[in-house]
Amino acid sequence: MTPSNEPSPSRRLFLKQSTTALAGATVLSTLAPSLYAAEDNTVNIALVGCGGRGTGAAADALNTSGPTKLHAMADVFPDRLNSSLKTLQDQFGAKIDVPPDRRFLGFDACRKAVDSLGKNDLVLLTTPAAFRPIHFEYAVLKGRNVFMEKSFGVDGPGIRRILKAGQSAKEQNLKIATGLMWRHDMRREELMRRIHEGQLGDIILSRCYRMHGPVGFANKRPGESELAHQIRNYNSFTWLNGSFIVDWLIHDIDICCWSKNDWPVNAQGHGGRQVRTIPDQMYDHFAVEYTFADGSKLLVQGRHIDNCYNLFSEFFHGSKGSAAIWDALGADPSRIYKNQNMTRENETWRYAGPTPNPYQREHDLLFEAIRKDLPYNETERSAKACMTSILGRMAAESGQLVTFDQALASNLDLAPGLESFTMDSPAPVNSDATGKYPIAMPGQTKAL
């Protein structure tokens, strides 16, 4: 996205050439060949949520070292399941073993897919974020390893469920990976190591931006229910994806909090719907100021409007210098500067190491943990990154200063009764007589 040329994390490119992906999957290369000789070490995979994110996650899982098979699939839409199945069959052939009786449809499809797995198998949870707490709880209850895509919930009650289930997973030694793939980007890893060693001194300010063109929207299909229409357009409804700042800016917010190894104590900000006319709930811009316990700040800007300045990056300002993932000119990633003026002549370090695909690497690390039975659980930090994003939305939509603890303890449930939904259930929000959906209004919308 001009001027930055950072690859978009809106979703992985799932139609990879197998040779390219395998070349990047080096994490497990040290495993002895005899590991697989004595018994069948195939990891069976169930995919829950068969859109672009899910299909991409399945491709990455199948591209890891060691025997894997796609064993089951689940979705509420048969066309999405069938499209995903064909895409994966074309790419992976015999690794796809999903007969009709393991193609599950409906709101109970996740349970059926999880139940079809055995010990040491893996479920990929890639539905819209509203369903993540329900699905994660069940997967952990059944003792399954999990990869869950971001985001991990849309409100305080959902995040509390994720944290509780994550603790249970830890006690069971289940392997839990999450879709915050920039944590496994080696450029960011090295920069964070240097920041934590004190090369920038104390971090006083961090900034992150995700500013680009508008998010798309599909009109309701003939005969489609309101609930189905909203699920197909999950990006556009707050109860499903938590808003633009939650589902997309979570990556950047997480990286900035990583620089502090901490989470903010409060947030205030603003946002609105200035240009967007599509009938949905999305704000087209956010700006939020977070404050940490030591008084330092995190500034977040999100915008998806045409013909505006675009930027997608994270920046860090310390008492001894500054750093950037991608600078405002789109320069090569991960640089450190001797002062706050991020120019070439002030540069003191730039990353020059390998850059394996972080989408693939997060799965390589997960499968290494599964095959070697290593402790691996990313739930807590990922849930808190999501809660920080939700906190920003709550502050901006209400116009109030909201604390992290208030947001996490809130009982505001954006989709009450979701666990009992069927495809015939009414949607949690509905349009008025003019076709417009309710929009959060600062000063009127309640934060908690």
Q: Whole-number mean pLDDT of the chain?
A: 91
Tell me the mean pLDDT in the region 267-289: 97
For the purposes of burial, counting CB atoms within 10 Å of the CB of 164, is it exposed (0-12), middle (13-18) or buried (19 or more)? middle
pLDDT tens readout for residues 170-182:
999 999 999 999 9
CATH number of 18-181+359-377: 3.40.50.720
How far is residue 146's CA from residue 446's CA, in Å, rounded to a whole number? Answer: 34
pLDDT per position as a tens digit, 412-445: 999 999 999 999 999 999 999 999 999 999 999 9
Which segments of 319-428 does DSSP mark as H helices, in order? 358-372, 379-398, 404-409
Q: Sheet holding 43-48: strands in order across?
A: 103-105, 68-75, 43-48, 122-125, 145-148, 176-178
Handedness of CA 351, 352, 357, 362 (dihedral sign): negative
What is 183-354+387-420's CATH topology?
Dihydrodipicolinate Reductase; domain 2 (3.30.360)
Q: Is the pTM of this model over 0.85?
A: yes
Locate the domains of the chain by residue range: 18-181+359-377, 183-354+387-420
246-259 pLDDT, tens digit each: 999 999 999 999 99
Q: Residues 210-228: what's their mean pLDDT?
A: 95
The neighbour count for residue 18, using CB atoms within 10 Å, is 13
* 291-326 burial: b if 16+ Cβ within 10 Å, else e: bbeeebebbbbbbbbeeeebbbbbbbbbeebbbbbb
Residue 38: the pLDDT is: 36
Rounded mean pLDDT, 127-133: 98
